[in-house]
Structures are given as structure tokens and as C-alpha cells.
Structure 1
């Protein structure tokens, strides 16, 4: 009988897991240096948490089910909504703002698997709740760029926009919520031809040529802060968009204070979900091709959607799997050393009991140690130590043990030294 992995999932073996754990550890250090604390939410939530956020149409993309009490549940497709639910349940009335939290975990979507896109995937992200705008966004973008830089990804392109500019135009021209949603989804796809067809085809989504022409010009504005003059000129007749532009200008000034230099203003970044309200950003790594987006984030009003009090919230989620693809693509593959600090080798069977005791002593002092459990011969144990690239081995013979000694061999230099067993922990630690 043969069992295969479920479609759209992966197995990770030892070396790959070590690389992933290394990246995870790097991200944790950066996030915590900004004052963020880790939280965990359940792998499954009530289905209505996500349909309330994204509409009933999302059900086709979910792993949803009924439990034995007939409750509608689903494996989480992302973690922002669970964080908003956690905030309402646990933090809204008691926590001092701003609240800085981060998360790392797996998510599930029932989609067609393809390169860089799986049915089980991992997100590493954060939420900043209750910080002022645009200071909060500036710090969040700085955190995001510092995290990516710390992983050695040097070609990441941070694209920033303010949705209030487009939403202000929609307000000026009295565009319905449903039509706004439809257009924002098209803009979010980044398909210029599709947008042109939607706005200027035989049956345009918006029956207003003035607005259609402004939108087509607006989303073409991509560059450094010099394009802000073009944006200002374009929206000059429309007061509803001007406050958002001023906020975007203030953000750009703040990014300099937070030492963020490499970014692109891109008026075509939309984040096509209704709850995104202000500054938004996406990060691309061109070398990843069609799946180049490794991060998305911005300011949102999700807590209010769930029935809570309005609170300024900003966050982002890094696609951890795509981060790993980018690391592999852009950085030199680091040759991994051994997973052990030392390997204990009993030379004869009569010292095996002591070998186990010494191995436990090392482990309980924070040293990664292992010992033979299969009664292998000395030569095979030496071959194994060489194969796993361990730098130190402890050779235990009966004569040395009688004298309270043990031989430590450096497998790199070939040097070996006889030391007192009572000093082995300090010796291995280099103290």
C-alpha cells in the first residue's frame, strides 16, 4: 500500500528545516527588536469570521467543514482576521495601546497548486493596533524592510500607495460600493489591459469617462517621490482625495526618519479588499517571476467590520515560503555544519553505560550531543561521525575511564586531547 502527500502540500527534510528555522529565528529577532510580542491563534476558526471579512465567494477557496456539533468551521486561510478576533476577545478593553504583536503559522487555501503557491503555506506577519497615522505605517514599513534585508534579500522592491486617493475620487463621483469593489479587484490584479477593458470597453464598469481617464492615468504613476507633483496636479479638482495625498507625503518624510531609502511610489497598488482604508504596500522580488510578491500590508479597518470600536490598525504578512525561494535564488547556499556539537563514541562495550551517562550530562547542559544506540563497531562509528560532519567526538576507552579521563578529538584539525571527565562540559563549551 502506498500513501502520497495530499495535493498542494510538502514534506521538509532536515537541511531544509534547518534553513527555515534559521530564517524564522532571524525574523523573530528583528520583530522583537521593534517591541513586538508573539501570539498564536487556532488553526481553524468559525467560517463566518472569513465570510464576514471577504464575502461568501471566499468559501470556494477554503477547507471548510462542519464539526460533530454541526458548527461551520474552516482551516484559516490567513491570520489577520483571527488576530482581529483575538483583539476583540482578549485585548480591546484591557490592553494599553499601541499593541504590537506578531505571528508565524501555517494557513490553508483550496487553490490550484503551482510554483510558489501551495494549499498549505506559512505566513510571518504583524499587526500594530492603535498607533497614529502615518507614524505607524512608517515604522511598520521600516520593520518589513529591515526583516527582508536581514535575510540577505537585496533586490526587494517596496511599492507604496494610499487608497484614500482613489476612494476620494469614487466618493466625488458617487460610485456605488459594489462598483468600487469590482474596480479595486481589477486594479489589484495588476493587469492593465483588463483594467482598460473594464473602464473603456463596450460595457464599462463605470459610466463616467472623466473618472475612467483619471484612474487610467493615476495607476500609471510609478516612481520616486517626484511623482507626487503629478498626482497633485491630477487630483487638483477633487477635494475628497487631497487629505490622502497629504498623508502620503507625510509618510514619505517619515520614511526618511526611519531610514527607509529604497521604495517605489506605485499608485496601482490596490490591495483589493474593502477593509484596507489608507496607506498600503506590497513587496516584490523580480527574480521570482510570476510569484514575485513576497509581502502585502497596509492600514485597515477590520475590527470595526467585526463589530468592535474603530481603531487604527496597520500590518503586513510575509509569504514565508516565497521568502525561502528568494533566499535560495539570491543568496549563496550556506553549507550547513553538523546538527551536533559532539558525538560520543564508546570504544568497547564495557564502557557503553558510562557513555550514556556522559551524553546525558552534556545534553542537560545545553550541548547538542548524541551517542550510538545500535552497538556498532568502532570503525563504523568513526565513519558515521565523519559523515555527519561533527566537529568534535568524545572517545571513551576503559583505561581512560579508570583515570577519570576522556579523549576529545577535533575532527577538523585531527588534534586530540585527554581531559578530566568532570571538565567535559566546560571544555566542549569552550569555557
Structure 2
């Protein structure tokens, strides 16, 4: 259901009214998706932190359900089920979400915006950051630290390096899970380079071969050997895992690629200075990542046009938010001097709607507001 009236908020609703009014004035229609959601999209598409914090249940038909842990996927599903699917549309929201958070309350309020269908990606990204800053000001919080990144840059880098597919998957997964890539790359490289065995030549041949053909060969060999499943895994699953390990063992991450990735991940600071460093890296290493750098530069220009002081914005190539569905721009707003948990966070997720069932890819970007934390900060007057 797409609603036109705001949900009742706990406590003082003044900040809620102010926040939702600012979203409405920007053209975002209020959405109220159901609290109970299919669990599969969250299990398949969210980051590890959300997956392990779900509250799960099962209905009478056996379908696994969950209390919504955030509102991005529910609003996206609602958009796809509406008559506006495939068209430019923007939605706002304010309501409870449910995650296990240790000693912190498992139910808390989340507000935010999701924008679908806009092809002017750099401008839409800049608008999200500008609206996020307006959201903090609605709570009386006027000074925040702005942290930004762009997973599309890392994706472009990995693609340009021409690594084995298993390395690409491994590195992208580590980036999205906020693992220290530099540490992980070192461990994998050492393990790959020092592991030797009597069938190393076979592994090298498989690693460099067509993936489908190699998978078929390994599956056939296991079937001939009489294997059906081991430890609950099917022959196909075991074969796929074997191929991944064969690549890691026989095709260690090349040293020149490691050096380039380390140099890339060290870039941070003023966005415009970062752009210059990225162009220098691309030129030195002869990497075709110009389109991703151009998109970053265009976004920074639109941010400046919206009055955002980009010199006060910290950009980092290693910045990631830990959500598997992000594909581009990512950002967090933090309280000055208290940077552990974000007050507002968001980013671009152009592939999510297609993974939710859309026939075509749909550009999408948005952000979430930790409303109660901001309300408490605004009430206490720090920072302001």
C-alpha cells in the first residue's frame, strides 16, 4: 500500500512531522509496507550483519517469514507490485524495524527515502546526500561527518585487472562484508603461493579452462566414482567448490595485481584529490576505469552544486557499508567525534530490483535514518 498519512511515532512526533514534511516537499510519497515480510530476499540479498539479526517465523504453508529488519527491500518490493514499476518514482517512510542488536532494543524506528528509475545517476546520488543532510537538520543536528565511497570503482578495478572469476567473487564479497581487504589479500596470496601438491598441474589446467566445461568434467568424474552427496552437499555443489579451490591454489593472486589493489585501497581524503590519484593510478597501471572515475567526478560536481562542501567530505576507495546489494555510491553521516554507528546511511543499488523479480534493471538509490538516535541527539543539543 502507498499511503498518504504518516504513521504514529512514539514519544514526541514533532521531529517526525518535520522530517516527513521535508520528504514530501521534495516529492517523495509516503509508503507503508507490511511489517511481516518474506524472509528469502533478506537472506539472499542483504549483508551478513542483517542476515544474522533476523527474527524469523513460518506461516501455515511453510513459507519462511521475518519481521522487516529494514525498509529498503520492502519498499522496493512494493514499488515493483505497484502500477509505477519501471517508471521514475520516489518514496519516503517512517516506521519500526526489527533486528537483534545485543543489549540495544530490537525494535527501533527507521525513516528514509528510496528513489527508483532515475537515469541521471550522479545527480540522483547528490540529491540523496543533500536530503540526508536536511534530515539531520530536521532533528536540530547541524554538524556531521560525511563519509563516502563507491563500490562501482572497486568493481571496475577488479574487472580491469582480468582476474580469475573466483578471485573476483572473493574480493567483492570481502569488500561488501567490510573485511580488511589488504589483510585478506595477503593471507590468500601467501596460502595460494605456498600450497603445493602432486596434482597441481591438473588444478592449474582446470583453473584456466572454461568454467562450464571444467565443472562438467569434475561432476562426471565424481559421478563415475560413485559419489552422490557428501556432508549434505550435492555433487554439483562439491564440484563447484573444488573448482574455486583449484583456482585459489593454482592461480595465486598476481603480485602486480596485489600492488595495484593496495595502492587503490590507500586512496582517501578530499574527493577531488582522490579523483586525481585515481586517474594517475589508471594511467600508471594502464587500467580502463575511466568511466567509473568520470561518474565519481560528475557526482562530486552535483554535490557542490547542491551546496555541499565537498572539501569537508571524506572519500575512501575502501569504504563499504556491508550490504551485498550496493552497486555504486555509498555514504554515512556520523556525529562529530562519535563515528562508530551512523546516524544516516545509504547508497546506490541498481541491481536489487532485478534480483527481486523485475524484468529489467532499474536504477535505484536511497538512504535510511536512525530516527530515535537522531532525535535523542537533537534533544540533548549535541552537536548543533
Q: TM-score, normalised by structure 2?
A: 0.72
Rounded to whole Å, the distance in 2 between the matches of 1:275 and 1:157 is 24
3-state SS, counterpart of residue 142 of structure 1:
helix
RMSD between aligned residues:
2.8
The answer (yes or no) to whether the contact 1:181–1:272 under 8 Å persists in 2 is no
Q: TM-score, normalised by structure 1?
A: 0.65
1:257 and 2:251 matched: no
* Structure 1 residues 250 and 40, CA gap change in structure 2 (3 angstroms): same
- Which of residues 195, 199, 209 in structure 1 aligns to 2:255? 209
The answer (yes or no) to whether the contact 1:282–1:295 under 8 Å persists in 2 is yes
Alpha-carbon shift at residue 30 of structure 1 (Å): 1.7
In the other structure, the counterpart of 2:186 is 200
In the other structure, the counterpart of 2:269 is 223
Pairs aligned (count): 309
Rounded to whole Å, the distance in 2 between the matches of 1:188 and 1:158 is 19
Structure whose alpha-carbon radius of gyration is higher: 1
* Unmatched tracts of structure 2, length 5 or more: 1-9, 193-247
CA offsets 1:113-169 (integer angstroms, 9 cap, x no match)? 3xxx43222211111111121111111111111221232223311222222211011
- Which of residues 35, 47, 62 in structure 2 aligns to 1:43? 35
In the other structure, the counterpart of 1:298 is 347
Alpha-carbon shift at residue 186 of structure 1 (Å): 4.3
In the other structure, the counterpart of 2:240 is none
3-state SS, counterpart of residue 288 of structure 1:
coil
Alpha-carbon shift at residue 217 of structure 1 (Å): 2.7
Rounded to whole Å, the distance in 2 between the matches of 1:218 and 1:327 is 38
1:33 and 2:25 matched: yes
CA offsets 1:221-245 (integer angstroms, 9 cap, x no match)? 2222222111211122354421011
The answer (yes or no) to whether the contact 2:47–2:322 under 8 Å persists in 1 is no
Aligned residue runs from structure 1 range 170-209, under 5 A: 170-175=158-163, 179-180=167-168, 182-184=170-172, 186-187=174-175, 194-201=180-187, 202-203=190-191, 207-209=253-255
3-state SS, counterpart of residue 40 of structure 1:
coil
In the other structure, the counterpart of 2:207 is none
* Structure 1 residues 286 and 179, CA gap change in structure 2 (3 angstroms): farther
The answer (yes or no) to whether the contact 1:184–1:272 under 8 Å persists in 2 is no
3-state SS, counterpart of residue 91 of structure 2:
strand
Rounded to whole Å, the distance in 2 between the matches of 1:267 and 1:125 is 25
- With CA pairs under 8 Å and 6+ residues apart, which has the higher RCO, 1 or 2? 2
CA offsets 1:41-76 (integer angstroms, 9 cap, x no match)? 000111122223238996542111112343311111
Alpha-carbon shift at residue 90 of structure 1 (Å): 0.9
3-state SS, counterpart of residue 112 of structure 1:
coil
The answer (yes or no) to whether the contact 1:100–1:127 under 8 Å persists in 2 is yes
* Structure 1 residues 63 and 31, CA gap change in structure 2 (3 angstroms): same
Rounded to whole Å, the distance in 2 between the matches of 1:188 and 1:290 is 18
3-state SS, counterpart of residue 37 of structure 2:
strand
* Structure 1 residues 296 and 214, CA gap change in structure 2 (3 angstroms): farther
CA offsets 1:373-420 (integer angstroms, 9 cap, x no match)? xxxxxxxxxxxxxxxxxxxxxxxxxxxxxxxxxxxxxxxxxxxxxxxx
